[in-house]
Structure 1
């Protein structure tokens, strides 16, 4: 306030002196020389004195102005009256102007003083806060602490900043504190709190209550209050209850003098209530002791919003479900002021009945205010940074980094805290993608030219860890209102996906070009518009037709019409392609020179979005030579028919012979298709008598065969185009069942007799079964081989991920939630790989206790995220279900297969129900189902409201490769796999289905005995760490080698990596004196793991060796054993598993 009053006092003092001098000068003897000096002449002096507020400048200015007035004014103003008027006006102007100028000066000085005061308050808020405030870095060090912090703990600020935070924390509280630091928190989100003990410089321990919020750069702003007194009060009260009556006085003294509000309410068995409350509590709530006894006083004082938050706690306490809770809440005092308190409630039951309620109230108003300011600041910053999708880097005019947003941190690998103040070239390192030479930094060009730099292409950003990102970047100057350059903003983004898309498009274009080239070399290709006008022909078309391309384009195919085909043939062709269907057939065309040629033609229509074709593509193959050969064959057949006529008698004899054969034989008339002859073999096959068959037609024994179909099929024989036709058909037995047959059909015309068809029919049921079994065996073997190969490749891909998880967790503790999700997903993928290997090898999966309700919840997430919205899901799980023993991944597959089948059975939507419950199967029920047995089971039921399963198919649904979905929609392995898994788990399946109403599949799994002590799954501890031992790691996968190298270094080993067996031998020779253990993959190119081990044993016979592989054959295992290998590491493996293998290897002598 001293500075604020200075502008007022000095101008008034100066103005007073100026008036005094003017009065004196007015009557100075010099008046006789030039007349009286008017007041107006002192106006400049008054302004100068008021503005500058100096005494001596005002006096000098006043004197100079008086002299000027004495010399000048008499010449300007003549009459004395006018002089007096001017003199009076000057005096009035002096008074008014002096007042106005003084007021302006005062306002200016006051504004400046307030600004300085506000700046000082902001600067000193951190230092003057009574709470302990600090800023912590992500690596566990203090960056800044306020004086309250140093006073509370006795340590100086340099001492606190120099040591890790955990060194100041009580050893018993360090694990909990580390877990608190590792908690995933949203940036600028919820303010978290916890308590721990800190060491004072004098060696004592102080309890601190912490509240903190996480910044975008992972720094933490935190406030703490020394709650040692609060803790001591709790301890004192606890001890007081155990002390005898002689200690009551001391307890009362503590109760009344402690600076924490405490209230003790006792309710006896009769409901009578008594309350004791200390002065601190009364002062905090702003009430008297008499008011404290009013019923519900503290609930009335509680802020309305906090009453709603406290209501669940009060309900739980009243119900007896809760005896302790704590919360932050507000009290609204009688004077309207609001105070924030840390409210803690404790209830204990009295031995004689009734209960005792103890509440603690601590004033945290100031801490709340600071936290609110911190949170608001962080929220604004977080919104600004996270709203930008590209990476943003800002520099000052010297090219040093002044800001880096989260996307920029991710791409450059530099946290903003470390990047601040560094030259931009150190953080933003770019090279030319083609030349690999350093590229110019846009920031430097902007600073040099002051102009915006557009997008730059073919640039690679080198991240801090060496990772390369193709980017597009641009830069612009940051200017103030006066267009002065204050710095540069650089915007860049990763274009990896864009480059990949460009490469894929180029590959697809090249592939299309190659396919077209290959097609042009082999086939005759033409493209027409919807009206049939030719728009494209290839060279093969021109060659075979004899027309040049110019003569064909714009014309239709009628110019090539040979006249061989009837108009109905052409009309059927056009009807087919105009309906959007592919047409296939043989066409005879005429070339330009009049010769004829045959083509095997396929015409494909191409449609617009509205379904109308916009062009037709015809692909033809020249079959002229084949057709000529068939014509020649037809001629020969004709000759043969004449010879057959001469041998009709022989045929009749042959028919008699056929009557005795095991195969079926029959003859039928071409016009009626009615049987005219059947042998005993046909009667045995079909179950009819000869008389019944002679009254039947061929269509009566063939499934879904019409007379038109049969006539069309035998037409080539009738026309003589074929001499023998072989068909595979299904014939129908008299009892209704169908069986496959192979039928050889000939057309004969006996001499003097009517033409007829003779068929030899062989029942191929057994042969089909044998072929199907052989095919299924080959398919299963192929699938097993494929599954093994895929599992090996997936293991190689998953191993670096699982190994690197823990390293990432240590580097980014704040992202523990996301890292846990990644680890869970990677382990689930590893489980799927193990299932593939189980399928490939026929091995069994690991059995662990599994809760079926958890399986339903996982399946619910999958269905809700992937199934059509018209499928309504209902999930029901029984209470307190016992677990089952099984492989979670296999059981998950059982549910998934059943749910997918249910979805496919409801193409128009419906209801899908998932249920699990515990049931008891008795002997009667077990006898009605295959594989069932009495006992305790847990069921998994999948019910749909779909199309249902026909009764005739219900017994075949579990057969391998049986499917009703068609060859392009199902493999027929789903339900057979389900049955195999369920049987492998000692269970069985019950199926119920009703056509048009739906199906229900109920899986029964044996329940585990809940009386047995459940196995406790121990979490993985810390990985084994070495003492600098050299470890040779051999693997052909670059990702595996690099990840293993980093992990081994983190585990305090010295890694030596090799790309294959040959490289491994070279490394072993170079480091033979220092290598303590060798870890090698088994399946590698060039020199595999076994060859490497044989050579290694001759070089280093005593070195400990472990083999890593996703799959080992029995002979490989035997040879490893013969080479002294007893330690194996299955892919994929984690950092902990790698450490345990090294522990085993290094323990070997």
Structure 2
């Protein structure tokens, strides 16, 4: 064990002083304490940083005890040692991860407050700069303020990317295609004394990530490599696919077993020592001269990669260049999430009632004034509770809930969910400069909801509201079951998911189906009075009832016959939970929109 740990053979070490293992990096005061302790007859316990034969370091947990002769005099010392190098490495990684998480939370919180301020600054300066009644000189100065605000907004966006709080649009992304499309641009930003070498990766090097954000990852790494080679050199970009097995995960502490696409960006520049490598992803840490960088380039890379469920490894040494290896799960090894596509509005005529929920008074005043000026009726609220109360008392048609995500008391998504119960199918537009991890992401994915990041300009807010209001209305679904508790449960699940769901008993169902248009019917396989099944089957054949889901306690022969008679598109076997219910509804409604998939 000693030979394996130190690299020395027994023959090489026999008769040598243990100082041969000293690294020179253990404080002298620690050795003084050690000798004072054992010479006084006590046992010393502690950790030592030692050096192997090959010059590399290792850590030992050591217990040294004195050995006395028959007269009680100390003659020898016995040391019991344990190699704790791996333990120290894992502790350091955990500490670094916790530190980066804390910095990310701080950065996200700061960005949230700044985004509220920038929304006011940028919004009002944009409105005033477009006012042709103002003197030209004042309008020019307002434009200057606006440009400065936009630069500040870009900094907060980078902070949010570092903290993994910046919303994106993850979708399948072929990194080979991404790189081939950007090579020409990279060559233009590199000086003549830097040679760019791009090595394409394996076929189908596809990940799930936001394209624009991942373009920024590669760009920031390329710029970082360029700046590390002031005298020129070689900048290499290559792609690879690696398989990480369970036995290998100790070497990749942030990985789960599976297939990963690896993007490597290497340079032959000045390199980094261990201290710089430990801090390289911290916001505002930079080794560049003052004014030469913001210190947010690599932290932004860190945040985007983390958001894509990946991690980064850095290999470097002073004078030997650096390699940044970005590991991201292979798209073939993870489920693809549906990406909603919303068609932008073409009708510029503003009309409708908007419930505006914003706790920051100045932002609320700015947004309310802008929307009212565009012709909308605005109902302002400063908290989620106030918004719910306004919705309960309002007697008109509510078209849109425009709410900040983070509110005192109940959150914006929670308030929107309650209001959806009062106004089934109402559109929801979330706004925020910061989305904490503590907020369930399901709350931000309500059917029919959209997202606008702060800070936003007047034009961006107006466009987002138009787009939200012009989005396809949520499908209408009728829930039919003789058990009131089941009707209520199914209706609540559907309304919370953004559908316009209503409930009825079997005796009420036929009249409701014949009188109103519905996209889908969820019905228990217990026949309503009279020839109800025949009537429903007729509605199905005529096309007036596009989709039907049958619910059943037991799917026996009689239930199968009833489902077939109704022309059911899907069957739900009771008891069922929320997720199977929503999956069945999504499945049949998707088939309606895409008939070839039915």
Normalising by structure 2, we get a TM-score of: 0.50
Q: Is the 8 A contact 1:982 1:1003 kept in 2?
A: no
The change in CA–CA distance for 1:901 and 1:1037 in structure 2 (over 3 A counts) is farther
Residue segments in structure 2 that go unaligned for 5+ positions in a row: 196-210, 243-263, 288-294, 327-343, 474-598
User: What is aligned with 1:809?
Assistant: 129
The change in CA–CA distance for 1:808 and 1:781 in structure 2 (over 3 A counts) is same
The change in CA–CA distance for 1:1082 and 1:684 in structure 2 (over 3 A counts) is closer
Alignment deviations for residues 997-1046 of structure 1 (CA, whole Å, 9 cap, x no partner):
x8588999xxxxxxxxxxxxxxx99994525x442211111232022022
2:92 is the alignment partner of 1:739: no
The change in CA–CA distance for 1:1082 and 1:821 in structure 2 (over 3 A counts) is closer
The change in CA–CA distance for 1:1034 and 1:851 in structure 2 (over 3 A counts) is farther
User: What is aligned with 1:1026?
Assistant: 350
The change in CA–CA distance for 1:843 and 1:746 in structure 2 (over 3 A counts) is farther
Partner Cα distance (1:706, 1:831) in 2: 43
Alignment deviations for residues 151-207 of structure 1 (CA, whole Å, 9 cap, x no partner):
xxxxxxxxxxxxxxxxxxxxxxxxxxxxxxxxxxxxxxxxxxxxxxxxxxxxxxxxx
Q: Is the 8 A contact 1:852 1:940 kept in 2?
A: no
User: What is aligned with 1:593?
Assistant: none
Q: Secondary structure at the match of 1:1062?
A: helix
2:69 is the alignment partner of 1:750: yes
Partner Cα distance (1:1090, 1:1059) in 2: 14
Q: Is the 8 A contact 2:162 2:303 kept in 1?
A: no
The change in CA–CA distance for 1:1039 and 1:900 in structure 2 (over 3 A counts) is farther
Q: Is the 8 A contact 2:163 2:303 kept in 1?
A: no
Q: Is the 8 A contact 1:804 1:1047 kept in 2?
A: no
Partner Cα distance (1:1086, 1:729) in 2: 51
Q: Secondary structure at the match of 1:811?
A: coil
User: What is aligned with 1:835?
Assistant: 161
Partner Cα distance (1:773, 1:991) in 2: 15
Partner Cα distance (1:914, 1:708) in 2: 42
Partner Cα distance (2:360, 2:159) in 1: 18
Alignment deviations for residues 731-751 of structure 1 (CA, whole Å, 9 cap, x no partner):
334454432111112234322
Map 1:674-753 to 2 at 5 A: 682=2, 685-688=5-8, 690=10, 692-704=12-24, 712-717=32-37, 720=40, 723-752=42-71
* Greater Rg over alpha carbons, structure: 1
User: What is aligned with 2:338?
Assistant: none
User: What is aligned with 1:961?
Assistant: 278
2:80 is the alignment partner of 1:760: yes
Partner Cα distance (1:1092, 1:854) in 2: 46
User: What is aligned with 1:825?
Assistant: 151
Partner Cα distance (1:745, 1:940) in 2: 47
Partner Cα distance (2:15, 2:233) in 1: 56
Q: Secondary structure at the match of 1:704?
A: coil
Cα RMSD after superposing both structures: 5.6
Map 1:212-223 to 2 at 5 A: none
Q: Is the 8 A contact 1:894 1:981 kept in 2?
A: no
User: What is aligned with 1:1131?
Assistant: 454
Partner Cα distance (1:1115, 1:765) in 2: 38
2:209 is the alignment partner of 1:890: no
The change in CA–CA distance for 1:698 and 1:1136 in structure 2 (over 3 A counts) is same
Partner Cα distance (1:1139, 1:775) in 2: 45
The change in CA–CA distance for 1:768 and 1:1143 in structure 2 (over 3 A counts) is same
Displacement, 1:696?
A: 0.5
User: What is aligned with 1:1118?
Assistant: 442
2:98 is the alignment partner of 1:772: no
User: What is aligned with 2:498?
Assistant: none
Partner Cα distance (2:66, 2:454) in 1: 66
Q: Secondary structure at the match of 1:796?
A: helix
Displacement, 1:1060?
A: 0.6
Equivalenced residue count is: 394
Q: Is the 8 A contact 1:801 1:826 kept in 2?
A: no
Q: Is the 8 A contact 2:161 2:300 kept in 1?
A: no
Q: Is the 8 A contact 2:61 2:84 kept in 1?
A: yes
The change in CA–CA distance for 1:850 and 1:730 in structure 2 (over 3 A counts) is same
Alignment deviations for residues 746-777 of structure 1 (CA, whole Å, 9 cap, x no partner):
23432246533322111112322333343344
Q: 2:402 aligns with which of 1060, 1065, 1079?
A: 1079
Partner Cα distance (1:794, 1:977) in 2: 18
Alignment deviations for residues 1106-1143 of structure 1 (CA, whole Å, 9 cap, x no partner):
33234386974534666x54333333333233223332
Partner Cα distance (1:1000, 1:689) in 2: 34
2:379 is the alignment partner of 1:1056: yes
Q: Secondary structure at the match of 1:1086?
A: coil
Q: Secondary structure at the match of 1:825?
A: helix
Map 1:262-301 to 2 at 5 A: none
Q: Is the 8 A contact 1:1025 1:1053 kept in 2?
A: no
Q: Secondary structure at the match of 2:278?
A: coil
Q: Secondary structure at the match of 1:755?
A: strand
The change in CA–CA distance for 1:856 and 1:809 in structure 2 (over 3 A counts) is farther
The change in CA–CA distance for 1:897 and 1:1096 in structure 2 (over 3 A counts) is same
Displacement, 1:1051?
A: 1.8
Normalising by structure 1, we get a TM-score of: 0.29
The change in CA–CA distance for 1:894 and 1:1023 in structure 2 (over 3 A counts) is farther
User: What is aligned with 1:1045?
Assistant: 368
Map 1:225-374 to 2 at 5 A: none
Of structures 1 and 2, the one with the larger relative CO (CA 8 A, separation 6+) is 2
Displacement, 1:896?
A: 5.7
Displacement, 1:727?
A: 2.6
Alignment deviations for residues 223-253 of structure 1 (CA, whole Å, 9 cap, x no partner):
xxxxxxxxxxxxxxxxxxxxxxxxxxxxxxx
Displacement, 1:699?
A: 0.8
Displacement, 1:819?
A: 5.9
Q: Secondary structure at the match of 1:961?
A: helix
Map 1:322-721 to 2 at 5 A: 682=2, 685-688=5-8, 690=10, 692-704=12-24, 712-717=32-37, 720=40
Q: Secondary structure at the match of 1:829?
A: helix
